[in-house]
Amino acid sequence: MNQEFIKAAGTGDTNKVRLLLTNPEVNPAARDYAAIWWASSNGHTEVVRLLLADPRVDPAANNNYAIRNFLQGIKYKQNFYDYFKNDLIFISF
């Protein structure tokens, strides 16, 4: 079940991630936070937001690795500000 969840996160399948998060057998922290790592690495903003909203996900795990991958993933797609201009999210390193 966790493998399916990780794949959905990594491919940006927001609906599937949302659905699987409701399943108690799914652990969003499985395999050392692989779901948020893959979603962030591939710049899947909406999936990252879903994962960050889940209390079982620690964005600071592994020395902020998922956050750093997310920033790297969107670096080539669009200005960082555009992703968060409507949010009250402040990330400091």
2-84 sits in which CATH class? mainly alpha
- Spell out the domain ranges in the chain: 2-84
Smallest CA-to-CA distance from 34 within 47, 23, 22 is with 47
Q: pTM (2 decimals)?
A: 0.70
In the chain, alpha helices (H)? 2-11, 14-21, 30-41, 45-53, 61-75, 80-84
Average pLDDT, the chain: 79
Smallest CA-to-CA distance from 70 within 3, 17, 8, 9 is with 9
Quote the CA–CA distance of 40 and 68 in Å, as a whole number: 8
* Confidence at residue 20, expressed as pLDDT on a 0 to 100 scale: 97
* Residue pLDDT, tens place only, 36-81: 888 877 878 899 899 989 999 887 777 777 667 666 666 555 554 4
Residue 12: pLDDT over 90: yes
Residue 61 makes CB contacts below 8 A (sequence gap 6+) with 29, 32, 33
